[in-house]
Amino acid sequence: MAETSNPKVTPLRAADDIPGAGLNVGAAPTREPPHNFDAEQALLGAILTNNLAYGRVSEFLRPEHFAHPAHGRIFDAATRLIEKGQVANATTLKNLFDQDADLDAIGGAAYLARLAGSATTVINAGDYGRMIFDLHLRRQLIGIGEDVVNEAFDHDPEQTATGQIEMAEQRLFDLATTGQADSGFRSFKDILVKAVDMAEAAYKREGALTGISTGLIDLDKLLGGLQSSDLVILAARPSMGKTALATNIAFSAAQSYHRALSEGRTQVVNGKTKAIDGAVVGFFSLEMSSEQLATRMLAEAAEVDSDKIRKGELTSDDFNRVVQASRALSQIPFYIDDTPALSVAALRTRARRLQRQHDLSMIVVDYLQLLRGSPGPGGRSQENRVQEISEITRGLKALAKELNLPVIALSQLSRAVESRDPPRPQLADLRESGSIEQDADVVMFIYRAEYYLSRKEPDPGTDKHLEWQTQMGDLHNIAEVIIGKQRHGPIGTATLQFEGRFTKFSDYIADNRIPDVH
């Protein structure tokens, strides 16, 4: 578009009226933030002449996106009239702006008539709107850049360089995802093609699942696998086995991916060859060190008591199994980040990097309450923990959608669950924020009745003790995974086998049950 104005319209040159105009942002001392008053005039003229032009920009354009404040006020007034079903033109807007100081400075109500006289066609309105929006983003980028420079020069001891980087990344992410001009409706025909592609991929997978298999048959039956873009919350009280189950699922997914890749069961996505089954896993372990997590996985894979591995009390046979398991584990696409007190912004940055480098396709966070929200002003964390947890869950859900992968986030439950008999967890027990339930696509709870019953042992030699022993035998190594919420499917309970020595969950096979197969 030409940088000179339409001959019918006097160009607006009131740079002083534009926030930040004339600011020294580089080598040239008089350089102004990017703007195009001609485009703003042309778009407003089109809207005032034919209100249908508004429909081409209403989805993404806002009053604050205009460089000149008077143009923003005109657009806002026109928006309010049009959305009420009324006509917005120079005549209907005149009364609204008779006393407007901003309009008075550029010609008053007569300026509305001049805008209408400079109207472009409705067809071009969308292009002008996107240009205005793009220039607004550029001005915002300049503002973020200036803040980053000023904060880097500031010697506040409470603001580390890493913290400043995370704040800058968060602001850039918010700018990139707010009010995107390219969002909108897609035809149902195009969406159906994508749905059929997903069904075809499920047909070719082991177990015919639409999502990533958990490695547990009964759980897969309820979930249909772990779905892309889903936030899955796995919650339980301490000692129920949250980390063990998450590790089992992640290990199974990585192992399936490696096996499918080696067997040639692949597909080409965006020019890259990927395995049909399983996932490349990124595990954010905020509670345990990477070595402790690796020990758990070794114990599971080798079926050796994890306590013996930690204490070095291994027989030669145990050690050989550990060595063999370690060789197999070293081949799977499993990546661990054990940085403590990680912020959700830093987690997002690292996940993006891992996806670029290694095609990340599943994330596990252990656990949610140990993440930090974005720093507030001055680099300090938010004081309201409920708001911070809400921000974290929104961030994890946004990350799942952005990277198109499942995110499994572990969560603690409140002590209220233990005041019930039996202490089976419910959605209301999610700790610190209702937003966890709101933002999650799936909420799962782990419940092991054996754990609670073992702490209620009666006096030995009594009838109650004999009854207690019978109950303990019935509940031995049995765990329940309760699906408390699922957007795409039913709620229910999957019964699993839990072997504490190996920190391993597996399919439950009752004496009177023939095991299912994938």
For position 365, what pLDDT does the model report? 93
Mean pLDDT score across all residues of the chain: 78
Report the range of poorest mean pLDDT among 100-114, 123-137, 239-253, 339-353. Answer: 100-114
| Alpha helices (H) along 50-121 | 69-83, 90-97, 101-104, 110-117
3-state secondary structure 348-405: HHHHHHHHHHHCCCEEEEECHHHCECCCCHHHCCCCCHHHHHHHHHHHHHHHHHHHCC
For position 20, what pLDDT does the model report? 41
What number of other Cβ atoms are within 10 A of residue 369's Cβ? 18
Which residues make beta-bridge pairs with 409?
233, 365
For position 362, what pLDDT does the model report? 92
Nearest-angstrom CA–CA distance, 346 and 374: 9
Report the range of poorest mean pLDDT among 8-12, 126-130, 187-191, 360-364. Answer: 8-12
Helix (H, G, I), strand (E, B) or coil at 484: strand
State the pTM of this model: 0.65
Mean pLDDT of 314-341: 84
In order, the DSSP letters of 297-315 are HHHHHHT--HHHHHHT---
**Of the segments 328-332, 376-380, 441-445, 461-465, which one has the largest average pLDDT value?**
441-445
pLDDT at 205 over 70: no
pLDDT tens digits, 28-53: 456 788 888 888 888 888 888 888 88
Higher-confidence residue of 395 and 7: namely 395
Which residues make beta-bridge pairs with 226?
212
For position 198, what pLDDT does the model report? 59
Residue at token pair 């778009």: 43
What is the pairing mode between strands 281-285 and 334-337? parallel
Higher-confidence residue of 325 and 312: namely 325
For position 233, what pLDDT does the model report? 92
Contacts 24+ apart (CB under 8 A), 142-146: 142/20, 142/23, 142/25, 142/33, 143/20, 144/168, 144/171, 144/172, 144/175, 145/25, 146/23, 146/25
What percentage of residues in the chain have a pLDDT greater than 70? 79
Nearest-angstrom CA–CA distance, 234 and 94: 58
Residue at token pair 């957007």: 487
Higher-confidence residue of 211 and 17: namely 211
For residues 128 and 120, is the Cβ–Cβ distance under 8 A?
yes
pLDDT tens digits, 230-239: 999 998 888 8
For residues 287 and 308, is the Cβ–Cβ distance under 8 A?
no
pLDDT tens digits, 206-221: 555 678 888 888 898 8
181 Cβ neighbours under 8 A, 6+ residues apart:
60, 61, 129, 130, 133, 134
* Domains of the chain, earliest start first: 15-21+28-155 (1.10.860.10), 212-507 (3.40.50.300)
pLDDT at 189 over 60: yes
